[in-house]
Structure 1
Amino acid sequence: MSVETRPPSPPPAPSGRPGRPARRPRSSGGLFRAFWRWHFYASFVVVPVMLVLSVTGLIYLFRFQLEPVLNPALMQVEKPAGTDVAQPYAGQLRAVEEAHPGAEPVSLAEPRDAGRSTVVSVTMPDGEGRDVFVDPWTAEVLGDRDPDTTLSGYAIRLHADLMSGRPGDLVMELGTCWAIVMSLTGYYLFVRGRAARRRRARAGKRGARLRARHGVLGSVVGVGLLLMVVTGLPWTGVWGGTVQQLATTSGSSMWSLDHGAESAPLSTLDESLPHSHAEVPWGMGESEVPRSQAHEDGTVAVANVDTAIEVADGEGLRHPMTVALPTQEDGTFSVIGYAFDAPSDERTVHVDRFDGEVRSAYGYDDYPLLAQVVSQGIGVHEGRSLGGWTMALAAAFCLGVVALCVTGPLMWWRRRPSGPRLGAPRGRLPVRSSPVLAAGLVALAVFLPVFGVSLVVVLLLDRFVLRRVPALSDFFGTA
């Protein structure tokens, strides 16, 4: 990938026609090859990242269907005949504590339906997190498992940062940023190259049909790719952290500004659920958890997890709920109504453990406008807004991206050159003669800082290394 540093010299006049100026080659041809070159080299970063994101995203999308099938002894239960009342959650918690002495329960998730178990997340004495599964009809402990070692647990961690922390997060953000470049250049190639594709198809050229199908599929999937990339950027470390910092300085936030926790905050909602993959709404993760108000006369706590769920139900929260349990003497029951298919219904109610009163409540209507927009985007990204249509479209999109990631390298393989060369298209972006193109590159680099830094590195490498070493110049096909 290279950028033109000076205008090209005018071509000489064709022989035999003195005095008649030569026809300049159309700039679109050079731009086409330059965009093709960027599209080609962007694939080295984008294809592996998009493959991981699409496959893990597909697993996460169907986690509620896959996990019970993979773990039936833990997650599937049978409702006893003639029984319509489940055991109290307080009794189920006691059963977990008896089965795991010394373990500290940190959250309880209601069953998603009558055939599913209750999930209690605990912290073991050695600090390890476990999910304990309880039959809600008999309060029998069915077993436990590390949530990180389930199929969806692996998918979540790979999707986030390749299970490698900050370095993995940067790699995923880099691939995500270049995916935008790949989509934009792909659309240009699709539109400007349609005539050439038709000619190749009519001539029966090898690989013409695959190239045409790749273009048509990319023209459809590219819209979803851009949507998924943009809605996924808030999770990234650099872009998400930078935007959040800018939003905070202007009095807004991508997450939450919970002014409902009137007493001194105990922690944030995310911190209340260590080791857990509990469904915490994006906009509430950083919301404050208030403290319970102990009575001066030493009155003991009278509320329990069943009280908290009953109070939250009265406040209009949707089932199934997740309850972050108090782990300190002045902690509260934080009841989360996730509202899976409607981000606008997200709400959390904090219930005092001493008197069972609502200490504070916080929901979508209390979010800053930016957080509301991001929450709706997250709902689309996770395929859970607008009912089954969004889920079906998200699944089709993931499969489409996988297909593009396979057909793209396959096209190169079929036309790969012999010898030690990559066979990259030769072309240079005419930024000096195209102010609009130059402005677009600068805007994209500013909007996506990781892309901007990587772009500078690539251009410097191209100019000062690849072009000065003949073997490298030939291998990478510099123009």
Structure 2
Amino acid sequence: MSAVQSPPDQVAGPATRGRGSGLFRAFWRWHFYASFLVIPVLLVLATTGLIYLFRFQLEPVLHADLMKVDHQAGLVAQPYSAQLDAVRRALPDATVVSMTEPPGPDRSTVFSVDTAAGPRDVFVDPYEGTVLGSLNPDTTLSGGAILLHGELMAGRAGDFVIEVAACWAIVMALTGYYLFVRGRVARARRRAAGAAGAVLRSRHGRTGAILGVGLLFLIVSGLPWTGFWGAKTQEFATSHGTSFWGADPGALSKPTSTLDESLPHSHTVPWGLGKTEVPRSNPEDGRRSVATIDTAVEVGRRNGLQRPMTVALPGDSEGVYSAIGYAFNDPGKERTLHVDQYGGRVVSTYGYADYPVLAKVVAQGIALHEGRRLGTLNFWLTTVFCLAVVFMCVSGPLMWWRRRPKTKALGAPRGRLPLRATPALAVLVVALALFLPLFGITLVAVLLLDQFVLRRVGALRAWFNVAR
């Protein structure tokens, strides 16, 4: 429940006595201040999440000349190896990394390549075998949305800001539920009296009451992506014999060669297989029969991989073709086959069934997070959720603006958390700080700032309405 709420007119005065009112005002104050960090980040995440959610509808419209082709009955697609040759002729200095099959009869084949100028997605007419053009996948609308959603286009610093905001969003959700329940009588009274802003405030609370559960789920399911919590928790999981990702035992691999490193721009690697080591081919095995990209596709088809497949090409004489069946709606069906580039045999097979239990849970959570696990229902529920987040991010500041104090003050609710008098609350805060270390660190920073700066500088104490 993300919102900036303004206090009622009497908040600027002495805090109301009593344990209940003390908790209410304290929670209101934390809800208020957390919103300054959370709202901008949530607004970006909700907006970019919507763009990413509708990427399959938006990108073909924005780049129809590259992504769409004329298809007439009777036309037969060229072999993928012939399309690959066309890409190599058009971009002789580029390294072709992977190929993704057309998602429909009127769509182009996509080859991901690395060039001196950076990554490109090259689009090929599968019937004519001609190169239609290329795009930098990270500069498209959905590509930019992905970078903003993951790290605010600011690298590790952006990832840090998002993770801190996610931690405080949990605080906002929990305090918001308390405010919603304890403040229901006051809200009803204000609506009955026709008070200004009463309707908006009620809608904000009701929307947040429904939204809060989904927000908590999205935060928790998104934490494995984060650079601090995700990385540290993965280290802990690995040390205890499990993992967020699958670990393909395959053939001999280079320690740094993983699928998400091989396909950093494709966005088609299943979450659970992202850290999978890539097996190797044996140049001495079956040199008489050299496999091609079409061999890998056919092997994947015969083994029931989900379509459209993405095939990662061998990087050297010992590399393999990795045929990736990215089961969009059901992570339980995702599977990858590593195909020897000489004999065409399957070096190894690895998929959801082989994941550790934790990786299975995370894979399912990511699919729900991205609005694809339950098909159309998941898609539209996620759409409504993102729109509701935008509403909350707009309605909260609007409520504060309408009821901001006329005096030179921020208009924050006054209250202090009665941790000593409420042991259960103290335990909850400590547990949350231990579970989310970045929340704990920033919480300590805020408390120190409050204790040694805001309370000791008169002007700041009045501006922030600090209770003594």
The answer to whether the superposition gives a TM-score over 0.5 is yes
Counterpart contact for 2:285–2:343, Cα < 8 Å? no
CA offset digits 1:395-429 (Å, max 9, x no partner): 10000000000000000000011232110000111
Deviation per residue, 1:119-145 (Å, 9 max, x gap): 001111x15111000011111111001
* Helix, strand or coil at the partner of 2:247: coil
What is the SS of the residue equivalent to 1:271? Answer: helix
Say if 2:285 and 2:342, in contact at 8 Å, map to a contact too: no
Aligned partner of residue 263 in structure 2, secondary structure: coil
Given that residues 138 and 144 in structure 2 are in contact (C-alpha distance below 8 angstroms), is that contact kept between their aligned partners in structure 1?
A: yes
Tell me the SS of whatever aligns to 1:148: coil
Structure 1 CA distance, aligned partners of 2:280 and 2:289? 13
Deviation at 1:300, TM superposition (A): 6.0
Conserved 8 A contact 2:251-2:280: no
1:340 pairs with 2:328: yes
Aligned counterparts of 1:430 and 1:363: Cα–Cα separation in 2: 50
- Native 8 Å contact 1:80 1:137 kept in 2: no
Aligned runs of 1:216-295 on 2, under 5 Å?
216-259=206-249, 261-265=250-254, 267-274=257-264, 276-295=265-284
Alignment correspondent of 1:374: 362
TM-score, length-scaled by structure 1? 0.92
| Greater CA drift, 107-116 or 400-409 | 107-116
The residue that corresponds to 1:471 in the other structure is 459
- Report whether the alignment pairs 1:71 with 2:59: no
> How many equivalent residue pairs?
451
Q: What is the letter of the counterpart of residue 59 of structure 2?
A: E
Partner of 2:351: 363
Q: Output the CA distance in 1 between the equivalents of 2:106 and 2:290.
A: 31
What is the match of residue 424 of structure 2?
Answer: 436
Is 1:35 the counterpart of 2:27? The answer is yes
Residue 82 of structure 1: how far off its partner (Å) = 2.4
Instruction: Find the aligned partners of 1:329 and 1:185 in 2 and give their Cα distance.
Output: 58
- 1:105 equivalent to 2:93? Answer no
The equivalent of 2:433 in structure 1 is 445
Structure 1 residue 296: Cα displacement? 6.8
Q: Of the candidates 376, 393, 396, which is equivalent to residue 388 of structure 1?
A: 376
Q: 2:302 maps to what in 1? A: 314
Query: Which residue of structure 2 lines up, in the alignment, with residue 182 of structure 1?
Result: 172
**Gapped runs of 5+ residues in structure 2?**
1-15
Query: Aligned partners of 2:407, 2:343: CA distance in 1, in Å?
Result: 78
Q: In the alignment, does 2:405 pair up with 1:417?
A: yes
Q: C-alpha separation between the residues in 1 aligned to 2:285 and 2:424?
A: 70
Q: Which amino acid aligns with 2:36?
A: F
2:9 corresponding residue in structure 1? none
Mapped to 1, the partners of 2:227 and 2:289 lie a distance apart of 41
In 1, the alpha carbon distance for the partners of 2:231 and 2:394 equals 33
Letter in 2 for 1:111: P
- The residue number in structure 1 matching 2:84 is 93
**Cα pair 1:183 1:222 within 8 Å, conserved:** yes
For 2:452 and 2:21, locate their aligned partners in 1 and report how far apart those are by CA, in whole Å. Answer: 26
Task: Report the alpha carbon displacement of residue 295 of structure 1 after superposing the two structures with TM.
Answer: 1.6
Alignment match, 1:163: 153
Measure, in 2, the Cα distance between the counterparts of 1:78 and 1:218: 47
CA contact (8 A) 2:371 2:382 kept: yes
Question: Among the aligned pairs, what percent are the same residue?
Answer: 60
1:158-207 superposed Cα distances (whole Å, 9 cap, x missing partner): 00001111100000001111111100100110010000001111111111
User: 1:46 maps to which residue?
Assistant: 38
Scaled by the length of structure 2, the TM-score of the pair is 0.95
User: How far apart, CA to CA, are the structure 2 residues paired with 1:278 and 1:465?
Assistant: 47
Residue 292 (structure 1) shift: 0.5
Contact 2:208–2:392 (Cα < 8 Å) also in 1: yes
Structure 1 segments unaligned to the other structure (5+ residues):
1-23
**Aligned-pair Cα RMSD in Å:** 1.3
Larger radius of gyration: 1
Q: What stretches of structure 1 move > 4 A for 4+ residues in a row?
A: none
Using the alignment, how far apart are the partners of 1:391 and 1:236 within structure 2?
A: 23
Q: Does 1:426 align with 2:418?
A: no
Q: Quick check: 1:353 aligned with 2:341?
A: yes
